Structure 1
Amino acid sequence: MNEARSVGMLKAARIMLVSVALVGTGALVTGCQTDPDIDITKLGVETDPPETLYNQGLANLRAGNINEAGRKFDAIDRQHPFSEWARKALVMSTFTKYRQGKYDDAITAGTRYMNQYGRTPDAAYVQYLIGLSYSKQIVDVTQDQRAAARTIEAMLKVVNDYPDSEYVEDAQAKIRFARDQLAGKEMQIGRYYLERKEYLAAISRFRTVVEQFPTTNQVEEALARLVEAYYAMGIVPEAQTAAAVLGHNYPDSQWYADSYKLLQSGGVQPRENSGSWISRAGKLFGAGT
């Protein structure tokens, strides 16, 4: 297989990965089989020239033999370090580790690639793989959200460093999801404190959501919870401001209806104090964000 064909197959693998990420399918190639994972090259030799190993890796990859493909690419990396074939193999090794669900290994391989070859044309793709590997490890908001924070960091590099790449749109989608997870975690903790009547601790968490995650879908509830917490503490002007900002941005929200009802039960209505931190934060978002 000549050099032009190898480059073409590498590009095809990148395109297929984007399709996998966007549509949520698990297939690399239509109809590929991964069980049993048999080396279709049938040579069993990993001391061949790097070009031969690379092409064997691509052949196994096309056949759906992910494990065998990974072995070929890793062999190149071990036996021919710092060569052009090793660089290309490290791209594909990062990809195969991601496809195998070995996300930490994919991140390690991808990070090494970025440190060594961060200015190459494949760098955007590898950085995207790193972000995908973090995003696959995001868990329910009841658990630690470290992976969500790292997803944002990795995908922001895709967006900022490679703004013209084909991966930007999906990177932005992954960032939005991860930010919503972080906001959701803050809300979970805030609700816990609110239920225990630890109002200052609860307000601190809800404030984080309003100020740091103003475009997430958690903002409506965060404002409503601020109304509840401030009102319970007797800090009525802040409760009124939170309700006013909520009503201005989300007038049809059930959260606003509940907040309005709470204030009305005490004989007051939403009224914005422009000097409040809530009013200043409210300028960062609007209806539909």
Structure 2
Amino acid sequence: MTERSTPSRAVVRLVSLLLIVAVAGTGCSRVGKMFKKNKDADEGQPVEAIYEKAHKSMTNGNWASAELSFKRLVAQYPYGPYTEQALIETAYAQYKSGKHDDAISSIDRFIRTYPTHRNIAYLYYLRGLVNSSRDTVFLQKVWRLDVSRRDLATPMQAYNDFQIVVERYPNSRYAQDARKRMIVLRDTFARHELDVSLYYLRRTAYVAAADRAKYLLETYPQSGYQNDAVAVLMKSYEGLANPTLAADAKRVLQQNDAGHPALTGDWPDYPSNLRKLNPFAGERSAVDNRDKLEAKRAEQAGKGE
């Protein structure tokens, strides 16, 4: 009886390795085919079908999928009305998904390529919306920080975008809303100037406080903070021991806002320094305290009725 020969360990390992490689190769091939199938899902499809697919994704709020489909449409059909609309929709999808820098790039590229397009007013309006949101959404929603106390470069650009809509395309469907947004932004800029003037006032830098208050009144007339600016002037002139100018400012304030707390010495009501020790407290200023006081007075007046 002959003894059977057993395969060496080296041979067993080699066979096992070959099997693993074969299985892995098959799996990778399947994955690659699936990826290619997904990647080329719109390959060769009619432009109408791709647009409809992208539009459906937009309707469902699937902004990433919509953006991808619109880009595939543009890649396959670089010219035509569907392409132009796809470029516009791409910018909107990027805006809705929070990709603000990408949206601005898409909008600027469209404006350069189609400066006389029938929807050009919408592109400027959309750019205003994007710039209004850029660099501020996270700060507002998470940390409750006031936009007026942050860098105002992008809100200022948004104001310019809306101004283009209002001045160049006054009869467009976006002009009315652009005007309203400009008013809101003007108040944001005015509040920023008021915050700065109050900063100087608290540190007894009365000349600087008065200068910023006058700048607010001259640059943003009829803003929601014009009476506060007059109150800063009154306080600044009092600090500078100039009773004549202080009296003039007080007279103007009494005429325009007889109930302003500065007239009774209750304003500015600066937040406590202890608040700064709490990193989660959010920012407050004398402007915030003024708003709270006004709301309280309105509530008390309502109860009195």
TM-score by length of structure 1 reads 0.69
Change (3 A) 1:208 1:138: farther
The answer to whether the Cα contact below 8 Å between 1:66 and 1:96 also exists between their aligned partners in 2 is: yes
Q: Distance in 2 between matches of 1:236 and 1:93?
A: 60
Higher normalized helix content (fraction of residues) = 2
Q: Distance in 2 between matches of 1:93 and 1:231?
A: 57
TM-score by length of structure 2 reads 0.65
Q: Distance in 1 between matches of 2:43 and 2:236?
A: 65
Aligned counterpart in structure 1 of residue 231 of structure 2, from 224, 247, 258: 224
Name the residue aligned to 1:53: 50
Higher CA-based Rg: 2
Name the residue aligned to 2:67: 70
Instruction: Give how far 1:251 is off.
Output: 3.5
* Structure 2 residues not aligned, in runs of 5+: 1-37, 137-145, 267-305
How many matched pairs? 219
The answer to whether the Cα contact below 8 Å between 1:138 and 1:145 also exists between their aligned partners in 2 is: no
Change (3 A) 1:173 1:46: farther
Name the residue aligned to 2:109: 112
Aligned counterpart in structure 2 of residue 130 of structure 1, from 119, 123, 127: 127
Q: Residue deviations 1:42-95, cap 9 Å, x none?
A: 972355444432222112222332211111112233444354332211111111
- 1:191 equivalenced with 2:198 (yes/no): yes
Instruction: Give how far 1:168 is off.
Output: 1.8
Residues 141-150 or 226-235, more deviating: 141-150
Name the residue aligned to 1:166: 173
Equivalence map 1:28-47=2 (5 Å): 44-46=41-43
The answer to whether the Cα contact below 8 Å between 1:148 and 1:179 also exists between their aligned partners in 2 is: no
Q: Distance in 2 between matches of 1:103 and 1:154?
A: 15
* Structure 1 residues not aligned, in runs of 5+: 1-40, 260-289
AA of the residue aligned to 2:156:
A
Q: Please provide the CA RMSD for this pair.
A: 2.3
Instruction: Give how far 1:223 is off.
Output: 0.4
The answer to whether the Cα contact below 8 Å between 2:42 and 2:72 also exists between their aligned partners in 1 is: no
Name the residue aligned to 2:217: 210
Q: Distance in 2 between matches of 1:193 and 1:133?
A: 33
The answer to whether the Cα contact below 8 Å between 2:54 and 2:65 also exists between their aligned partners in 1 is: yes
Instruction: Give how far 1:97 is off.
Output: 0.9
AA of the residue aligned to 2:63:
I
3-state SS of paired residue (1:217): coil
The answer to whether the Cα contact below 8 Å between 1:151 and 1:174 also exists between their aligned partners in 2 is: no
The answer to whether the Cα contact below 8 Å between 1:98 and 1:106 also exists between their aligned partners in 2 is: yes
Residues 234-243 or 183-192, more deviating: 234-243
